[in-house]
Amino acid sequence: MKQKMSKKKKWIIYSSVGVVLVAVITTSLLWNKKTLVEVQTGKVEKKDLLESKVSATGEIRAKEFIDIQAEITGIITELPIKEGDRVKKGDLLLKLDPLQSTAEMEATKASYEAAMSDAGTQKVQIASAEANILRDEAQLKQLSSELEQAQYNFGRSQKSFARMQQLHEENLISREEYEQSQNQMRIYKTQCDATEARIAQIKAQTKVTNLSIQQMKSAYQSAMNRAGASQANLRRSVDQLRKTTIFSPLTGIITKKNVEIGERAVPGIQSNPQATLLTIADMSVVQVELKVDETDIVNVALGNDAKVKVDALPDQEIKGKVTEIGSSPINAGTTTASQEAKDFKVIVDLIDPPDVLKSGLSATAVITTKTKNNVLTIPFQALTIRDVEVDDAGHYVPPKEKAGEKNAVSADTDKSAKKAKKKELQGIFIVDKSNKARFTPIETGITGETEIEVIKGLAENQEIVTGSYKTIRTLEEGTEVKINNTKKPEAAAEAK
């Protein structure tokens, strides 16, 4: 009896141990199954059309608009327009009180006329002096002829007197004849001296006249300089008077009117809003001025198509084209620009805009930067970046499995001793036959709203890991996973 009880006891013990072992194994299997990483999968699809787009916000503006500012100070006396009026180029916009400008113009005009009168007087005097010089030069020529004749006569009389003197000494002629010959010689000598004196006088007079002419010419130049200065002041005064009346420089709409009759217009700089009297916009060509983020601006090009929605017209979409791209950030001049995200200006011309559009309306534009047909695509959230080992050519080197590859590991002992090269590669994860995640590098192209183009590394209908995005971010090579496609996939916007 005791022996039978012993066998029964042993059986009970063995049964208990078996139950415990089964429980442990079952619990372990359930625990492992519970700790598997859940992923969602999808297939590489071919799309007929993939568009890369950039979104930006901005406001409506006219392609051509002008802020009207006064260039002189004055009281507004006429203002025949109001905000919203259509005006043509050359239409009267406003008038300033011209009294002060008119008085200044009349004063400068009188000064200019007086200076011109002085210059005219000096010019007449110069002409008269130059005429006197011409007269004196004529007299000099005549006196030179007379002097030559007198000198000739004086020479003849000297010779005649010498003969008469000899004859007189020989008592061959009377004393009266002798004295007549002597007097004749003296007369010719006097004529010579008088002519020479007259010539010297005229030459001295000519010299004085020349000096006077030089002085008169200097006075004339001074008068002309004064006249030139007066003329410049007169032109300025006329211009100031002209600026008391302001005409429209273009055809458009009065979009802003900041003044009324009786107010004072004050000149100012363009950035001073108080100096702007009116704003005229030519709404025949309407644009949207957008602020595009620096991460997107490199994808935008001139001629890109755009679709614009104005907040005031939510149900209407307006087509447009990119016509201008800023080359420097809008906020480049601010002190904190280096620490903030930078925006670049992009101008989109609207095609057939509605007439109800007004400058300053808020708008949102979607710019199509690139378009491709028949391309392989994957969900954007499937793409990830890993710091992986690469060979000398930069190609991805998958890690070796620890089990079943002892020979390979031992054969690569020398290689493993070397420092492995690391590089960041973009790629996706696939699930192999043993339900393990495998990283696969790929080359991508343009990015759509929720998909990205695959250029190299995948084939159509190939199954890849597509979610969740948080799981893909932390998923490691060789991790055992469990596919669960019953969960709702995440939006691609979250991945972006």
Band the pLDDT of 321: cuts 50, 70, 90: very high
Distance, in Å, from the CA atom of 119 to the CA atom of 101, rounded to the nearest integer, reads: 27
Predicted pLDDT of residue 213: 86
Contact predicate 375/445, CB 8 Å: yes
How does pLDDT run across 380-426, given as a tens digit for each residue?
899 999 989 988 888 888 887 544 444 444 444 444 445 568 888 99
Report the Cα–Cα distance between both ends of the chain, in Å, rounded.
80
What does the longest C-alpha to C-alpha distance in the chain come to? 225
Strand, coil or helix: what is 283? strand
Count CA atoms closer than 13 A to 101's CA, side-chain side: 20
Higher pLDDT, 136 or 47: 47
Lowest mean pLDDT among 65-79, 158-172, 397-411: 397-411
**pLDDT at residue 8 above 80?**
no
Which residues are 289's β-sheet partners?
59, 347
> Residue 320: which of 303, 338, 345 has the closest Cα?
303
The values of phi and psi at residue 239, to 5°, are -65, -40
Mean pLDDT of 160-173: 84
Predicted pLDDT of residue 246: 93
Strand, coil or helix: what is 186? helix
For residue 224, give both structure tokens.
Answer: 């002309």
Q: Which domains does the chain have, with CATH numbers?
A: 37-49+378-495 (2.40.420.20), 101-242 (1.10.287.620), 286-371 (2.40.30.170)
Mean pLDDT of 28-37: 59
If you average pLDDT over every residue of the chain, what do you get? 83
Whole-angstrom CA distances from 257 to 83, 84, 209, 254, 274 are 6, 9, 68, 7, 11
Contact predicate 76/265, CB 8 Å: yes
* Strand 305-310 versus strand 252-257 pairing type: unpaired
Residue 281: other Cβ atoms inside 10 A:
21
| Beta strand segments in 258-383, E | 264-265, 276-293, 305-310, 313-329, 343-350, 362-379
The verdict on pTM exceeding 0.85 is no
